[in-house]
Amino acid sequence: MFGLLLLCALVSASNGARILGVFMTPSYSHQVVFQPIWKELSLRGHEVTVLTPNPLKDPTLTNLTEIDLSFSYATWNNYSIATLGSKEHSTSEELKKLTEAYLAVTEVQLSHPEVQELLRNNTHYEFDLLLVEFLWPVMYGFKDIFNCPMVGIASLGLTATANEAIGNPSNPALDPEFTLPFSMNLSFKERVISTIFQFLFKVGAQVSLRPKMEKIKQKFFGDIRRTEVLAKDVSLVIVNSNLALQNVKPLVPAFIDISGIHIKPKKPLPNDLQKYLDSAKEGVIYFSLGSNVKSELLPKEQIDKFMNAFAKLPYKVLWKFENEHLPNKPKNVEIKKWLPQQDLLHHPNVKLFITQGGLQSLDEAIHNEVPILTIPFFGDQRYNSHHLVQSGGALSIDFHSFTEEEFKEKIVELISNPKYKEKITKLSKIASDQPMSALEKAVWWIEYVIRHDGAEHLRYAGIDMPFYQYFLLDVIAFLLATLALTVYILRRIMKHVVLSYNFALNSMARLSGKSHAE
């Protein structure tokens, strides 16, 4: 019996792959999507090495090695991401600030001694697969360093350039960039804006951003392929998306959608929180702006509007507030630096979730069937909010222009009108009605790529076609030229026929005239 168990263990170990995971964004809302994947892969016998700002630090995961990049949060915060959106700004300003933050974070992460050890001694390390956050192409350089297949993972939707890398069509009239403040049922003006923005986004990436990325790539990875070439050499991309929060669109097989991968089984709440929620007979409003937007850093004028509106409501309010003190706090408002959001939203007395509109927060609210009021600030939050409002499952306010009365009225409408609860319940059923869990699906496809040595057969041929061939510009030009030549020849023939006909008529007329004269 012992021999059989030993044999099974050896067989299992021999089937394990060596996997490198690179998840760079210093944001917990991003990392919670990736953490379950690398944990599950290590539990399945794969040897997993992960670069992350949020290591699990779980000593029971013996197949897992984590390189702690949490120090890069300081660099990320230097670019005031926590206050991005608290003042009015353009989308281009937002993208500029985020780009600067990512460039700086890339530099400090790749300069880390343990990462440098990995890069310098790459011949001593062998990996069968690279898992990488499919957002920042510089990090795709690990693929060429270790000469292994690459699987991308995205905690948000894909940009137009990312969709282009795997061959997904991206129609700006139907599928605008997720950094824009609209998502579906676009007006003519919005279609124009979306088209121009997508064009400028691609041009800007080529002209301004790509040279900077190439410089960093050359510095840390040496002479390897260009970033846009590396991006197209991805086996597949696993994307945190679902039909409850995304537009329906045609997708290539290399696009694998998942949602709610970070949602965990319900756990008991802390005793004080359980008691607080149980005693809220009128109901509770849960207010959290996520991990990137800090409530304590919001302008005092806007905080006062929130508090004045809350004070006029009969509901208790739980507010995730990063400071222990909030002057003039109404009696029905309770502040906490941290709250177990998933378990809290599951409580039946939570009647409304006020959120910045981050994708993971919306996933959790929809999963627990809680109506939503969004206050979007930046990134994909405006897109997500617009989509949910258009779907009928939420209302939204503009942080810069809302009034106290508007805020209060929308809260009352969401709690008292049953149509919002009914719509959220419907969306929850759509999101959860899947043949397997999000984690099972993600891991199955990752192991599929390993089993098929990169799964080259999933690659869409359109990726490698020049744009003039993909959009049939050469064929259209040929057909137009052929048509023009045909018209030209026919016109020449007709002109010659007319001339000949006129010549014949003139000749006959002259002959007729001569005959009469005789």
Give how many domains the chain has, as a whole number: 3
Do residues 421 and 460 share a domain? no
Residue 32: which CATH number?
Answer: 3.40.50.2000
Do residues 447 and 424 share a domain? no
Do residues 47 and 125 share a domain? yes
Is the pLDDT confidence value at 137 over 50? Answer: yes
5: in domain: no
- Mean pLDDT taken over the chain: 89
What pLDDT is recorded for position 2? 32
What pLDDT is recorded for position 514? 60
- Residue of higher predicted confidence among 339 and 5: 339
Beta bridge partners of 317: 285, 333
What pLDDT is recorded for position 12? 41
Q: What pLDDT, in 10s, does the model give residues 63-103?
A: 999 999 999 999 998 887 777 777 777 777 888 888 899 99
Determine the Cα–Cα distance for residues 285 and 349; give it in Å rounded to an integer. Answer: 9
Determine the Cα–Cα distance for residues 103 and 139; give it in Å rounded to an integer. Answer: 11
Output the CA torsion sign for 93, 355, 294, 213. Answer: negative
Do residues 364 and 469 share a domain? no
What pLDDT is recorded for position 149? 96
Q: What pLDDT, in 10s, does the model give residues 262-282?
A: 998 889 999 999 999 999 989
Do residues 245 and 285 share a domain? no
What does the buried/exposed string (b/e) look like for 417-438 if buried means 16 or more CB atoms within 10 Å of the residue's CB? eeebbebbebbbeebbeeeeeb
Determine the Cα–Cα distance for residues 3 and 11; give it in Å rounded to an integer. Answer: 12
Q: For residue 421, what are the domain limits?
A: 271-432
399: in domain: yes
What pLDDT is recorded for position 278? 93
265: in domain: no
512: in domain: no
Determine the Cα–Cα distance for residues 409 and 274; give it in Å rounded to an integer. Answer: 28
Determine the Cα–Cα distance for residues 30 and 360; give it in Å rounded to an integer. Answer: 8
Determine the Cα–Cα distance for residues 231 and 466; give it in Å rounded to an integer. Answer: 16
Proportion of the chain above pLDDT 70, given as a percent: 96
Helix H or strand E segment including 162: helix 160-166
Domain end residue (candidates: 410, 432, 454): 432
Can you tell me which residue has the tokens 């979306």?
194
Identify whether the C-beta of residue 424 lies closer than 8 Å to the C-beta of residue 372. yes
Do residues 53 and 76 share a domain? yes
502: in domain: no
- Residue of higher predicted confidence among 235 and 91: 235
Do residues 29 and 62 share a domain? yes
372: in domain: yes
Do residues 145 and 222 share a domain? yes
What pLDDT is recorded for position 302? 93
Is the pLDDT confidence value at 3 over 60? Answer: no
Q: What pLDDT, in 10s, does the model give residues 308-365?
A: 999 999 999 999 998 888 888 999 999 999 899 999 999 999 999 999 999 999 999 9
Do residues 426 and 454 share a domain? no
243: in domain: yes
What does the buried/exposed string (b/e) look like for 469-498 if buried means 16 or more CB atoms within 10 Å of the residue's CB? eeeeeeeeeeeeeeeeeeeeeeeeeeeeee
The encoded tokens of residue 405 equal: 């009365």
pLDDT band at 9 (very low <50, low <70, confident <90, very high): very low
Do residues 170 and 307 share a domain? no
Can you tell me which residue has the tokens 């990488």?
132
Helix H or strand E segment including 12: helix 2-15
Least confident range from 212-221, 252-261, 500-509: namely 500-509
Least confident range from 63-72, 204-213, 317-326, 421-430: namely 204-213
What pLDDT is recorded for position 4? 37
415: in domain: yes
